Amino acid sequence: MSEVVNIHQAKTQLSQLIQRVENGDEIVIARSGRPVARLVSCGNTISQRTPGSWRGKVVISEDFDDLPDELLEAFGVIGEE
């Protein structure tokens, strides 16, 4: 369910409006009675990181640090003597 509030009310009660949005409400912010913005929850975007969760899933090849000669030449590391 959405509720329409004016900009002044939204500024003075922002903390309360955010709390309501976190609880599932939708707030429409209006200027002179005309809707201009919608305050909605962005969902649970923060998740707990689990250290080591990628262990065994990523393999770095033996030649990871070896760059091809054409790339080294492009960076001016070799070939321009």
Considering the domain boundaries, does residue 80 fall inside one? no
For residue 50, what are the CA distances in angstroms to 45, 47, 54, 58, 65?
15, 9, 9, 16, 28
Q: Please give the pLDDT value at position 79.
A: 66
Q: Please give the pLDDT value at position 36.
A: 97
Which pTM value belongs to this model? 0.52
> Taking a C-beta distance cutoff of 8 angstroms, is the pair 26, 38 a contact?
yes
Considering the domain boundaries, does residue 67 fall inside one? no
pLDDT, tens digit, for every residue of 38-80? Answer: 999 987 667 788 899 889 999 999 988 888 889 989 988 886 5
Tally of structural domains, the chain: 1
Considering the domain boundaries, does residue 18 fall inside one? yes
For residue 52, what are the CA distances in angstroms to 17, 47, 55, 58, 75?
38, 15, 5, 11, 35
Considering the domain boundaries, does residue 58 fall inside one? no
Considering the domain boundaries, does residue 69 fall inside one? no
Rounded mean pLDDT of 18-47? 90
Considering the domain boundaries, does residue 11 fall inside one? yes
Q: Please give the pLDDT value at position 6.
A: 96
